[in-house]
Amino acid sequence: ASAVLFGGTSASEALHHLREEELHLIFGDAAFVELYPEAGTTILDMAMKARLFPTMDDAVRIITAGGLYINQSRVSAPGHAIVPGVHVLPSNYTLARVGKKNYCLIKWRV
């Protein structure tokens, strides 16, 4: 669990090996949402559907400034498409973090 939370560059790799149950155990206090994948969904689309930000302007500003992490890797391009295997873990989850401590576990319904 500590490698996932504090492992730096290895945290993203460690996340890829976790099963669904382990994600819920480690991030049980995080917000949880379920989304349906759609072709062309962008990082901004995902962030707004998951209610990570109160307004679109806040989302664009914070993402562009590097304040959003997907699977413990910083993202700064709100218009980039969500890529399975990069932004979506093998367990069909995405771990989103805004700032240092605001986590959201997103389950992709397939």
Domain boundaries, the chain: 2-108
Q: What is the pTM for the complete model shown?
A: 0.88
Helix, strand or coil, per DSSP, at residue 84: strand
Beta strands in the chain (DSSP E): 31-35, 68-70, 73-75, 93-98, 102-108
Position 98 pLDDT exceeds 90: yes
Average confidence (pLDDT) over 49-60: 98
The SS3 call for residue 100 is coil
Q: CA 96, CA 106: separation in Å to the nearest integer? A: 7
CATH numeric code, 2-108: 3.10.290.10
The pLDDT value given to residue 16? 87
The predicted-structure confidence for 4-28, as pLDDT tens digits, reads as follows 655 555 777 888 889 999 999 999 9
Please, which residues bridge with residue 95 across strands?
A: 105
Q: Which of 81, 83, 78, 80 is nearest to 57 (CA)?
A: 78
